[in-house]
Amino acid sequence: MKQRIISRIACLLAASATLLVSGVSQASPDFPGEIATLLGMQCPPPCTLCHASPQGGDMLDKPWVGGMLTGGLKAQQVATVGPALGYVESQGTDSDTDGTADVAELRVQRNPSITGTTTPDEILCPPQYGCGARVSPRPPVDGSALVFAVVVAGFFALRTRRSK
């Protein structure tokens, strides 16, 4: 009996902790999303716009990043993206010397580190994710997720009731 009570309490605590803690945690927007928003790009650029690795987070090896760092870009601080872009734009920096300034290139979805003479310098949009994926700018509620959640919750409620 005691074991049963402890089990139920632990279960409730864990479920509550999960729901409550998950609710308050917020991941900060990442740099690609911020750049896309600030410059009105069609989609967020890949991490390789600046980094050597597609996972980001390591060596910044692309020429145009130098201007951003000079402009005050700080790792992990998304608030520094805007001022850094502003600095690069104000300087008119043209890292790949193709005649178009870096920020102007980004605005038209082109890579500021590639000249475009031998290799296309278009910044390709990353793939879309999910079954039947579509571009969806922050819908209030994802309908399919909601339906699925209700079905799963119903299943567990039914099981719990039966087990009693």
Partner 1 sequence: MRPKAAKSRLTTGARTGISLAMLESGRSRWLRVFLAPAAALIVFLVTSPAHAYNWMIKHGYGGCPVCHADPTGGELLTKYGRDMGDQFLRMRYGETGGASESGSTGTDFGGFDDFDEEDSAKPEAKQEEEKPKEEVKPAEPSKFPDFLFGAVPLPDPLLMGGSARLAWTLKEGDFRIFPMQLDVYGQLRFGDFRVGGSLGVSKVPVGSPHARAAQLTSGQGDQWNLISRSHWVGMDFMNQEITLRLGRMNVPFGLRIPEHVMWVREATRTDRESDQQGGLALAYNGSDLRGEILAIAGNYSINPDMYRERGYSLYLEYMTSSRAAVGISSLVTKAARDRLYLNETDVLRMAHGAFVRGTLGDPFVLLVEADLLKRSATEMGYVGMIQLDYEPTQGLHFIATGEVLDNGYPEGGGPTQSARVEGQGKPKLGGWLSAAWFFYTHFDVRVDAIKRQTEPFTILGQLHVYL
Contact mark string toward partner 1, 58..97, x via CB under 8 A: xx-xxx----------xxxx--------------------
Question: Which of 144, 150, 153, 158 forms a contact with partner 1 (CB under 8 A)?
Answer: 144
Q: What residues between 100 and 129 interact with partner 1 by CB under 8 A? A: 111, 113-114, 118-121, 123-129
**Helix 81-91 vs helix 31-39: crossing angle, to nearest 10:** 50
How many residues line the site for partner 1 (CB under 8 A)?
Answer: 76
Among 95, 105, 85, 94, residue whose Cα is nearest residue 38: 85
Residue 72 in contact with residue 84, Cβ under 8 Å?
yes
Q: How many Cβ atoms are within 10 Å of 110's Cβ, its own excluded?
A: 19
- Using CB under 8 A, which of the segments 81-89, 99-107, 151-159 binds partner 1? 151-159
Residue 1 contacts partner 1 per CB under 8 A: no
**The tokens of 70 are what?**
């000079």
Binding residues for partner 1 restricted to 15-54, rule: CB under 8 A: 17-18, 21-22, 25-33, 36, 44-48, 52-54
Contact criterion met (CB below 8 Å) for 30 and 78? yes
Phi, psi dihedral angles at 8 (to 5 degrees): -65, -40
Minimum distance between the CB of residue 39 and partner 1, rounded to whole angstroms? 14
Residue among 56 and 72 whose Cβ is closer to partner 1? 56
Q: CB neighbours (10 Å) of residue 35?
A: 22
Q: Could you tell me the smallest distance in angstroms from the CB atom of residue 87 to partner 1?
A: 21
